[in-house]
Chains A and B, each alone.
Chain A
Amino acid sequence: MAAGAQATQAAVHVSRRVEKPYAVLLLPAVLTGTPQKQELFLPLTLAYLLSAHIAFRFPLRESALPLVERVFDDILNGLPKESKGICYQSVDRAERASVLVPQSSLLLTDERGLHELPGCERLPAAVISRSEANQSLLRLRNLEKIDDLVLRAKLAGCAQLINVQSGGFITEGPFSLSW
C-alpha cells in the first residue's frame, strides 16, 4: 500500500460498523460508470469536510476503489485529519446503494444521483449541480431538518463558497481576494 493510501486510511476511518445517524454519499459515477478523477474531487472533499460532524456511508463498486483512494490521498495531503469516518460499502448493483438512503440523515449526491432516487424529497440533501455556464453549484434541500447546527452552518458555508465562486464575477467592489 502506498504511503499516501496509508495516510488516507488513518485519516478517514474505514469501518464496516457505522453508528447512526449517518449521511450517504451517493455518486452514480462510482456505481455504474467509469468515474473521472476530476469529477470526484468536489464530492469527496465535501464528504471529508462534513464527516467531521457525521459519519458517511459511501456505496461504490470495488473497481472504483483505487481511484477513490487516490483522490482522497490528494485531498487529505497535509490537512488536519478530522473525521467520524467514511465507510465504503461495496455494492455490485447500483440499486443496492439506494437502500441506504431512506434511513440516512443527510444525502450528498449529484443531479444524476438525485434523479435516480425517487421518493426521497423530504430528506436533507446537498446536491452538486452545474450552472448554465457549466460551473459547479451546490443546492441544499431541507436543511432545517438537520439538528446539528454546526453541520448545518458548514453545509451553508460550503454552498455559499461554491456558488459564489461559480457564479462568476462580482461587478463592483469592495471584495475579498484571497486566491
Chain B
Amino acid sequence: MYILGINAYHGDASAAIVHDGKLVAAAEEERFNRKKHCAGFPALAIRYCLEAAGITPAELDHVGISRDPSAHLHKKILFSITRLSGLSGLIAARLANAAKVRNLRDELARSLDVPTDSFRAQFHNVEHHKAHMASCFLVSGFDKAAILSIDGFGDFISTMWGQGEGNRIDVLGEIEYPHSVGIVYTATSQYLGFPKYGDEGKVMGLAPYGQPRFLEQFRDIVQTERDGGFKLNLDYFLHHSEGVEMTWDDGSPTIGRIFSDKFIETFGPARQNGVPLAAHYEDVAASLQARLEEVGFHVLKHLHQKTGSKRLALAGGVAFNSVMNGKILLNTPFEEVYVQPAAGDAGTALGVCYWIENVLLQRPRAFIMGHAYTGPEYKNGQIERVVHSSGLKHRLLDDAELTRAAAQAIADGKIVGWFQGRMEFGPRALGNRSIVVDPRRPDMKDILNARIKKREPFRPFAPSILEERIAEYFEQTHPAPSMLMVYQIKPEKRAAIPAVTHVDGSGRLQTVSHETNPLYYQLIREFDRITGVPVVLNTSFNEDEPIVCTPDQAMDCFQRTRMDVLFLGNYMVER
C-alpha cells in the first residue's frame, strides 16, 4: 500500500511517501525549485517521492494533505464575522483570489500532468496539528507518550496537546487563533529587524547576548492560564484585527507586520533590518526567549499531569526552538523527548502518511524515524559527470581513504564540502549535505562567515559529536540526532571547541551514531584520531539559498564560494 502525504500552502511545502508502513522518501519542495521555504504546491517533491518509490500516480492508494478546511470551520466563521472590522473589506481582502481555488485531486493531477480520473487513490484532509502530532508520535518508537504540537497557526489552532498510545492519538486540549506563542516569536523577530520567514532562529541565537529585563512585559504579552494553556494580550498585535498578509509571489513566503503600535510604545522603535544591534534589542530577544521557555514548560508540566507519561513527542515550528527543547528534561518531569527532524510544517507531510496508515486504517506501527536521510541520493556514476565537467583536480577514493582525507583536511584548517548519501529532510544538514570545519579554531566562525556563509556574527555554528562521547563534552546526555537540542558545553571543554561554543557556553549539538550515518561517523572518528577531539563544526551546505540537493548544485556552490575541498560522493575535488 502506497500513501502520499503533502504539505501545501504552508511554509516549507513538502511531500512524503510511505510503502507498507515504511517511509520511502520525504523532501521539501525548496530543495528542488531552489526557493527558500517555498509555500506553493510541492510538485517537484511529489515527483521525487513517486520516483523514489518506483510507482506511477495511478498506483497510489491514499493521498492526504495536512490541511482540513472543515476543521473548526464554525470558529473561523465566527471569528471573521464578529471580530474583524468591516465585512465587505474582509471579504475583499480574503477572497481576492477565490477564482484560483482548486481541490487536491485537481491540483495533484495538474502538477503531475496526468488526467484527474487517473487516480484510484482515496483523498484525505488531515487537520494541521493532528498531522504534526502524528509526525512525531507515530514514528517515535514510543508505544505511549504525551504529544505537543506548537506553532504559529494551522487550521485555526496554534497549539494542540494530547496522548498517543499504540495507534491512537487523543487530543486533550488546544489553543485557538489568535493566541499563539509562535506568532509572538514571529512578531518580536519582525520588531527586531528579522522579517523573513524562518528568521526566528536568528533571534534565538541573539537571545544569549542579552538580559531578560523585559520579562515582565512579555509576561503581560503572553499570559499563562490555569488549565495549562495561555492567551495573548492582543493589544500588542495586529493579526487578530487586521489579518496578516502572507504572500509567496516568488515561492518564498513573506509575512506582513504582526506587532502593533503598543509593542513600539512598550519597547521603543523597531529595529530596521541591517542597523547594528544595540544591547536594548538583545535584551528584548533574551526576554522573549525566557518567556517562551516559561510558557512552554507551563504547557508541558500540565501535559505531564494530564497524561502521566514520562515520554514526550514534540512537533510544530516552535519545536525548532532548540534552546527550549534542550531545557525540557531539566524543567519538566519528562525523561525522554522525541523531536522529529522535520518538526516544522514540512514534517506534516510525513504526519499525514502515518495518520492515514496507523490512525485511519489502523495498520500496525512498523517504522521508527531514527534519522533524517530520506531525500535524493546520487551514485558515483552520476557524480562523475559533474566532477569531470568541472575541470577541477579530483581523485576517486574508497570510503576509508575518503574519511581519512576529509578528516585530515579539516584538521589542517580547510573548509570542507561534504556531499554524501541521501539528502536530509528538515532544516538541518546532518552530515550528508554539510560544510565541515575544525571546531578547535577560535577564528573558524569568522572565516566561515567571510568566505561562505555571510551570516550575522552573533549566530552560532553547531557541533557534531560522536554519540558515545557526549558525556565528555556536554552537561546533558540525552541523544540529539536531529540537531534540535541545545545543551551546555562543560566549562572545561569550551576552550577546546571555541568555534561551536556560543556566548553562553551552549552548543546546538548533533549526536552522530554509526548506526544512522556510518560514513559521517567515521569522518568524525578519523578527526578524533588525528586531533583527540570527537567533534566537528557542521553547517549546512549552501550560501544564502536552500541546502544543496544535487551534485551540480554542490559543485556550483563550491565554485562560487571559497570552500577549499569538496568530497562529492567518493570524489575528492580540489581547486
Q: Does A166 contact B (CB under 8 A)?
A: yes
Q: List residues of chain B with CB within 8 A of the CB of A42.
A: 73-74, 77
Tell me whether B280 is interfacial, beta carbon within 8 Å: no
**Is A120 located at the chain interface by the 8 A CB criterion?**
no
A154-B81, A175-B247, A177-B244 known; A165 and B103 CB under 8 Å? no
Q: Is A66 an interface residue (CB 8 A)?
A: no
Give the residue among A75, A156, A160, A172 with the most B Cβ atoms within 10 A. Answer: A172
Residues from chain B with Cβ under 8 Å of A166 in the complex: 69-70, 73
Interfacial residues of chain B within 224-280, with CB under 8 A of chain A in the complex: 239, 243-249, 255
Q: Are A174 and B97 in contact (CB under 8 A)?
A: yes
Binary interface profile of A, 164-177, with partner B (CB < 8 Å = 1, else 0)?
11111111111111
CA distance A177 to B39 in the complex (A): 12
Measured CA separation A171–B103 after assembly (Å):
10
Interface residues of A in 65-83 (CB under 8 A from B): 75, 79-80
**Bound CA span A169–B97, Å:** 10
Question: With a CB–CB cut-off of 8 A, which chain B residues contact A167?
Answer: 69, 98, 101-103
A45 within 8 A of B: yes
Q: Which residues of B contact A46 (CB under 8 A)?
A: 77
For the complex, is B361 an interface residue (Cβ under 8 Å from A)?
Answer: no
A161 in contact with B245 (CB, 8 Å) = no
Do A164 and B82 form a contact, CB below 8 Å, given A157-B90, A169-B104, A170-B9?
A: no
Q: Which stretch from A93-101, A107-115, A131-139 is at the chain B interface? A: A131-139
Does more than half of chain B's interface fall in helix, strand or loop, or is it mixed? Answer: mixed
Chain B residues near A170 (CB, 8 Å)? 9, 97-98, 100-101
Nearest chain A CB to B148 CB, angstrom units: 20
Q: Are A169 and B77 in contact (CB under 8 A)?
A: no
Number of interface residues of B (CB under 8 A): 49
B454 at the interface (CB under 8 A from A): no
Say yes or no: is A5 at the interface (Cβ < 8 Å to chain B).
no
With a cutoff of 8 Å between Cβ atoms, the chain B residues found around residue A131 in the complex are 103
How far, in Å, is A54 (CB) from chain B's closest CB?
A: 15
Known: A132-B103, A157-B87, A171-B107. A75 touches B177 (CB 8 A): no
Does B125 lie at the interface of the complex (its beta carbon under 8 Å from any beta carbon of A)? yes
Quick one: CB contact mask for B75-90 with A, threshold 8 Å, 1 for yes?
0111111100001101
Instruction: Report which of B104, B155, B245 forms a contact with A176, defined as CB distance below 8 A.
Output: B245
Could you say which of B41, B79, B82 contacts A169, with CB atoms under 8 Å apart? B41
Interface residue ranges of B74-133 to A (CB < 8 Å): 74, 76-82, 87-88, 90-91, 93-98, 100-105, 107, 123, 125
Q: How far is the CA of A20 from the CA of B37 in the complex (A)?
A: 55
- Are A179 and B177 touching (Cβ within 8 A)? yes
Contacts of A164 in B (CB 8 A): 94-95, 98, 101
Task: Count how many chain A residues have C-beta atoms less than 8 Å from C-beta atoms of the other chain.
Answer: 40
Minimum distance in angstroms from B125 CB to a CB of chain A: 7
Max count, chain A CB within 10 A of own CB: residue among B91, B104, B153: B91
Q: How many A-B residue pairs have CB under 8 A?
A: 146
Shortest Cβ gap from B136 to chain A (Å): 22
Separation in Å of the A169 CB from the closest CB of chain B? 5
Cβ B100 vs Cβ A171 within 8 A: yes
Q: Is A49 an interface residue (CB 8 A)?
A: yes
B76 and A173 contacting across the interface, CB-CB below 8 Å: no
Q: Does B521 contact A (CB under 8 A)?
A: no
**Given A166-B69, A179-B177: A173 and B81 within 8 A (CB)?**
no
Give A42 to B81 CA distance when docked, in angstroms: 13
Interface residue? A153 (CB, 8 A)? yes
Contacting residues of chain B (143-173) with chain A, CB-CB under 8 angstroms: 153, 155-156
Given A79-B82, A164-B94, A172:B100 Cβ within 8 A: yes
A61 CB, min distance to chain B CBs, angstroms: 22
Tell me whether A165 and B76 are in contact (CB under 8 A). yes
B153 cross-chain contacts in A, Cβ below 8 A: 177, 179
Residues from chain A with a CB closer than 8 A to the CB of B102 are 167-169, 171
Partner among B77, B91, B177 whose Cβ is within 8 Å of the Cβ of A45: B77
Residue of B nearest to A158 (CB): B77
Q: Are A179 and B82 in contact (CB under 8 A)?
A: no
Query: Bound state CA distance, A160 and B14, in angstroms?
Result: 28
For residue B546, CB closer than 8 A to chain A, the reply is: no
Q: What 8 A-B pairs are tightest by C-beta distance, nearest first?
A: A174-B247, A167-B101, A45-B74, A177-B246, A41-B74, A178-B243, A168-B103, A179-B156
Q: Could you pull out 28 A-B pairs where Cβ atoms are within 8 angstroms?
A: A79-B78, A133-B103, A133-B104, A136-B70, A153-B88, A154-B81, A158-B77, A161-B81, A161-B94, A162-B73, A164-B95, A167-B98, A167-B101, A168-B69, A168-B107, A169-B41, A169-B67, A169-B101, A169-B104, A169-B107, A172-B40, A172-B97, A174-B248, A177-B244, A178-B239, A179-B79, A179-B153, A179-B177
Q: A49-B77, A175-B96 are in contact. List 4 more A-B contacts (CB 8 A).
A: A136-B69, A169-B104, A171-B101, A175-B246
